Amino acid sequence: MPDLELLDCGDGRRLERFGRVLVDRPAPGATMPRRLSAADWAKPDLRWSKGGWVRGAAADSWPVRVGDLTLECRPASGGQVGVFPEHAVTWAWLDAAVRTAAERLERPPEVLSLFAYTGGATLTCARAGARVTHVDSSRPAVAWARQNAALSRLAEAPVRWLAEDARAYVRRERRRGRHYDGVILDPPTYGHGDGAWQIDADLPALLDDLLALCGARPSLFLLSAHTLGYDGERLAAMVREHIGVGADGAPLALDSRAGNRLDLGAWACGGVHGPKPVARKRPSPARRP
């Protein structure tokens, strides 16, 4: 059984399993009716309600396995637990892209990971053989990512861990004339750092600066977002327009065990060493218990 599983969603909420912990939290995109019974939803180990966690049996932290990585979950602010399960599909793509790039370049690719949170993408690239620069403006998030590196036996991997504003760091690297073979970015709608981050206002200029770092033929480029209005085609068009490389877009979605699908954003990927994203088929609906 996988450690990350969406059991059901509906009526504005999602019921998920993170390892041994059952979590019930809001999901604005879950506009459909729930499929599981009220009894199935009745006893989560953690529930996000009225702006805070209601704890059942959940510990302060617990590990989950995602592919070859071990990541720590914790009840965190905003209803997050430290892992975005819908990103597993992007990590599979990154793994393949980094391995291909390492083979073709005949050296470890240099990858820049921005808005890198608790390190799932960073550690996937490091595990696949990249040298990674991990940037997030939140010090606690960077510390959490380093903890995940240790749990995943990647504490000694070639990763530079930086608590910095993504825009400021990229501008500085541009002035230094630095080159990266690949870039990953998962910008939030609103953020913090050297001044407020706002995706509509700030993403285009950041992408223009990134072109200067990775050139028009990056080995890999992955842009994802969880912002209303940014679907896969829009993200792919932004990558094509600002970076000049071919890109394909796809939704970021989770299929529940009960048979409904939760849309959680989108991603676009491209680059001369990146495979095409694999379209996910809808599962056949499970029988109602």
Ligand X SMILES: C[S@@+](CC[C@H](N)C(=O)[O-])C[C@H]1O[C@@H](n2cnc3c(N)ncnc32)[C@H](O)[C@@H]1O
Residue 265 touching ligand X (CB under 6 A): no
Interface pattern 82-121 for ligand X (x via CB under 6 A) = --x--x---------------------------x-xx-xx
- Candidate list 3, 136, 173, 181; residue touching ligand X; CB under 6 A: 136
Interface pattern 22-61 for ligand X (x via CB under 6 A) = ----------------------------------------
Check if the beta carbon of residue 183 is closer than 8 Å to that of residue 270: no
Residue 81 touching ligand X (CB under 6 A): no
- Candidate list 191, 218, 232, 277; residue touching ligand X; CB under 6 A: 191
Check if the beta carbon of residue 53 is closer than 8 Å to that of residue 46: yes
The Cβ-side half-sphere exposure at 198, using a 13 Å CA radius, reads 4
Q: What single-letter amino acid sits at 54?
A: V
**136 or 248, CB closer to ligand X?**
136
User: Please, what is the minimum distance in Å from the beta carbon of residue 184 to ligand X?
Assistant: 8
Among positive and negative, which fits the CA dihedral 250, 251, 255, 261?
A: negative
What are the respective helix, strand and coil percentages of the chain, to the nearest 5?
30, 30, 40
Query: Which residue number has the CB closest to ligand X?
Result: 191
Q: Considering only residues 137-176, where is the footprint of ligand X by CB under 6 A?
A: 137-138, 141, 165-166
Residue 64 touching ligand X (CB under 6 A): no
Collect all residues with Cβ–Cβ distance below 8 Å to 175 and sequence separation of at least 6: none
**36 or 252, CB closer to ligand X?**
252
Instruction: Count the site residues for ligand X by CB under 6 A.
Output: 20
**36 or 64, CB closer to ligand X?**
64
User: Please, what is the minimum distance in Å from the beta carbon of residue 188 to ligand X?
Assistant: 4
Element (H, E) at 51: none
**34 or 122, CB closer to ligand X?**
122
Whole-number Å distance between alpha carbons of 119 and 146: 8
User: Please, what is the minimum distance in Å from the beta carbon of residue 145 to ligand X?
Assistant: 9
* DSSP-derived 3-state class of residue 55: strand
**77 or 284, CB closer to ligand X?**
77
User: Please, what is the minimum distance in Å from the beta carbon of residue 29 to ligand X?
Assistant: 15
Collect all residues with Cβ–Cβ distance below 8 Å to 244 and sequence separation of at least 6: 211, 216
Whole-number Å distance between alpha carbons of 131 and 159: 6
Rg (CA), the chain: 19
Residue 193 touching ligand X (CB under 6 A): yes
Q: Provide the greatest CA pair distance for the chain.
A: 60
User: Please, what is the minimum distance in Å from the beta carbon of residue 222 to ligand X?
Assistant: 10
Residues near ligand X, by CB under 6 A? 84, 87, 115, 117-118, 120-121, 135-138, 141, 165-166, 186, 188, 191-193, 197
